[in-house]
Amino acid sequence: MTYDEHTKVHPVTTGDSLPEVRPEITSTSQVMSGAEILLRSLEAEGVKIMFGHPGGAVIKVYDEMHRINPEFQHILVRHEQGGTHAAEGYAKATGKVGTVLVTSGPGATNTVTGIADAYMDSVPIVVFTGQVPTGLIGNDAFQECDAVGITRSITKHSYLVRDIKDLARTVKEAYHIARTGRPGPVLVDLPKDVLLAEAPFQYPETVNMRGYAVPEAVRPEKLQRAARMIAESKRPLLYVGGGAVSSDASDSLTELARYTGIPVTTTLHGLGAFPEEDPLSLRMLGMHGTWWANQAVQHCDLIIAVGARFDDRVTGKLDSWAPHAKVIHIEIDQSCISKNVFADCAILGNVKTVLERLRPLLDPKDTTEWLQQIDVWRQECPLQYQKDDKLRAQGVIEKLRDKTGGDAVVITDVGQHQMWSAQYFRFLYSRTHITSGGLGTMGFGMPAAMGAAFGMREIGSSRPVVCISGDGGFVMNAQEMSVAAAHKLPIKLAVINNRFLGMVRQWQELFHMERYSHTDLSDTNPDFVKLAEAHHCVGLRANTPEEARQIIDEAWEVTDRPVLMEFSVAKEEMVFPMVPAGAATGEMITDRMTPNSFV
């Protein structure tokens, strides 16, 4: 064990103190700086876009970028957190790995929220952070921070590159780790002297990591066992999570569900994996899921979990969740299996592969009676809100749905509008719903929408990018609007303005005797129209349903820059139905009048 990594003082490496280079490599490759090796490696990795912000520790990389003009685009963001969320939005919209480059110290710490967000939501991003020269590490140098240490528990893996020889291999491994298995963020810390040093460049063709294996072979006996359990069940339910989206299993899932007649409920991140207009779709389950999806969970005798992790926002109180169900768990990450809910049959593997191999072992099932029962629940407590002449958030989301017909990439921030989007948008396609679910990061929406818009442009898709945000969260990363404007991205930014931190307000009203402590934003909110205009975007405002329809039409006419649509809505509106935190899934509050037995 080498204990010297953080303590030993290293001499600053310069070009002439480089380790000896093997002759066969020298003879085939050109000598270049570490900074150029980084850029060439990214080119070799097929990177098309990078979100970054320069600074002292990475100035050499920016210098080389200026000199060699690499084959990918660099987007200068205005805050490193915005950069990481943009990379997430890009990754989730396209399925590719997002790339971020920032400087040391504050540059690195500003990425922490985005990295943690990507870790919780399994988003493949690689974050390159600058670092002080190796010889200064540990000396409290200017703009020094232990980036690897700070992010250790929120990355899938991380590297501190101490030797230019390891640089190209590290980049290769970082992208491999981020992309494969359960995707996740990887951090690569790059000391300045490594970027300044010179060495020959050769990009490795393969990775060789003995400790990292992605489960590939699916065990046939597990598939047969699952098929038997499905055949024996009377009231089966597919519970689909983000894994079905990240493995692009939407088609396989849809085919399996329709063939067998098993109803499907999705988590927040599973939205879009199964078309919500299909009669078999029960929409979202969990805390703000539909009444009928949660009733189905409570009464089903088999749960087929597909790329989902039994999060507490899904299960509520664990000891009364799905009391009658056996569980089949299809999952690529072994640590998710039997973590919260015991899996009677766990199938480890890529969700898409497993579903494709499982499908031929299944027969159509007669689920008519079960579906009829679910329909009764569906009638019992439909999703509804008051429809009058007032502008309401749910109505805004329905209008956006009508405008796009569901063919749009919808990015949401965190809060009430996020839940209403999940409830009322009716997602049809995979990768059209992007949100911060696990970490619940306010300020995610705007930069993630920008990243998604760059992704759509790259793959030549004409799908509009719509960001639905609250007034609280939007302000947290509003600075990226000018970046989107500079690149002429026609993003539609819907700000649902209730002049409150709505979700916290809702909890204060329901569980804290209406003590609205520090959730009123009316004094501190900016003028959103002026804010948009100051960032070279178009700003529009609506106070009534009619105005809302008009500004949406107007916004869709703008094609050369982002449009911010401010929808001024009532502050009292709440998200229903709701399972209070820690309550049993069976105990949903369906409206304001439900007795608060849980308080």
Partner 1 sequence: MTDTLILTPQQIIRKKAAGEPIQPDDSEMIQSHTIVVLVENSIGAFIRVINMFSARGFNIDSVTVGVTEDPTVSRMNIVTTGNSRIISQVLRQLSRLVDTIEVIDLTDTDYVERELCLLKVCYNRDSRSEILDVNEIFRGKVVDITSRTMTFELRGPSKKIEAFIDMMASHKILEVARSGRVAMQRDS
Catalytic residue list? 80, 142-143, 192, 503
The beta strands (E) that lie in 454-562 are given as: 465-470, 492-497, 538-542
Binding flag, residue 157, partner 1 (CB under 8 A): yes
Minimum separation from the CB atom of position 200 to partner 1 (A): 24
Q: Which is nearer to partner 1, 321 or 528 (CB)?
A: 321
Binding flag, residue 486, partner 1 (CB under 8 A): no
Residue selected from 21, 29, 138, 212 as contacting partner 1 according to rule CB under 8 A: 212
| Residue range at the interface with partner 1 (CB under 8 A); choices 16-24, 220-228, 339-347, 388-396 | 339-347
Among the residues of 434-495, which ranges form H helices?
445-458, 471-476, 481-486
Residue selected from 190, 308, 325, 485 as contacting partner 1 according to rule CB under 8 A: 325
Helix, strand, or coil here: 522? coil
Q: Is 22 exposed, middle or buried (0-12, 13-18, 19+ CB in 10 A)?
A: exposed
Q: Which pair of structure tokens corresponds to residue 356?
A: 């494709």
Residue selected from 27, 28, 69, 153 as contacting partner 1 according to rule CB under 8 A: 153
- Single-letter code of the amino acid located at 251: D
Binding flag, residue 320, partner 1 (CB under 8 A): yes
User: Can you tell me the distance from the alpha carbon of 118 to that of 112, in angstroms, rounded to the nearest whole number?
Assistant: 10
Minimum separation from the CB atom of position 211 to partner 1 (A): 5
Binding flag, residue 219, partner 1 (CB under 8 A): no
Minimum separation from the CB atom of position 116 to partner 1 (A): 12
Minimum separation from the CB atom of position 305 to partner 1 (A): 12
Q: Which pair of structure tokens corresponds to residue 217?
A: 């072979």
393-404 and 545-557 helices cross at what angle (nearest 10)?
40
Q: Which is nearer to partner 1, 344 or 520 (CB)?
A: 344
Q: Compose the 163-182 pattern: x for residues touching partner 1 by CB under 8 A, - for all others.
A: --------------x-----
Residue appearing with tokens 């996020």: 418
Asked if 253 and 232 touch (Cβ cutoff 8 Å), the reply is: no
Binding flag, residue 321, partner 1 (CB under 8 A): yes
User: Can you tell me the distance from the alpha carbon of 328 to that of 305, in angstroms, rounded to the nearest whole number?
Assistant: 6
The beta strands (E) that lie in 427-586 are given as: 433-434, 465-470, 492-497, 538-542, 563-568
Binding flag, residue 74, partner 1 (CB under 8 A): no
Asked if 579 and 316 touch (Cβ cutoff 8 Å), the reply is: yes
User: Can you tell me the distance from the alpha carbon of 173 to that of 306, in angstroms, rounded to the nearest whole number?
Assistant: 28
Q: Which pair of structure tokens corresponds to residue 523?
A: 């004094």
Residue selected from 9, 76, 209, 459 as contacting partner 1 according to rule CB under 8 A: 209
Binding flag, residue 216, partner 1 (CB under 8 A): no
Q: Report which DSSP code applies to 164.
A: G
Residue selected from 16, 205, 319, 389 as contacting partner 1 according to rule CB under 8 A: 319
Binding flag, residue 44, partner 1 (CB under 8 A): no
Binding flag, residue 352, partner 1 (CB under 8 A): no
Binding flag, residue 339, partner 1 (CB under 8 A): yes
Residue selected from 67, 152, 390, 512 as contacting partner 1 according to rule CB under 8 A: 152
User: Can you tell me the distance from the alpha carbon of 157 to that of 182, in angstroms, rounded to the nearest whole number?
Assistant: 12
Binding flag, residue 211, partner 1 (CB under 8 A): yes
Q: Which pair of structure tokens corresponds to residue 251?
A: 């088609």
Q: Which is nearer to partner 1, 233 or 418 (CB)?
A: 233
Q: Is 239 exposed, middle or buried (0-12, 13-18, 19+ CB in 10 A)?
A: buried
Residue selected from 278, 312, 333, 458 as contacting partner 1 according to rule CB under 8 A: 333
Residue appearing with tokens 């819907």: 494
Residue selected from 96, 156, 401, 431 as contacting partner 1 according to rule CB under 8 A: 156
Residue selected from 67, 219, 324, 592 as contacting partner 1 according to rule CB under 8 A: 324
* Contact set with partner 1 (CB under 8 A): 1-6, 148-149, 152-153, 156-158, 160, 177, 209-212, 318-327, 333-335, 337-339, 341-342
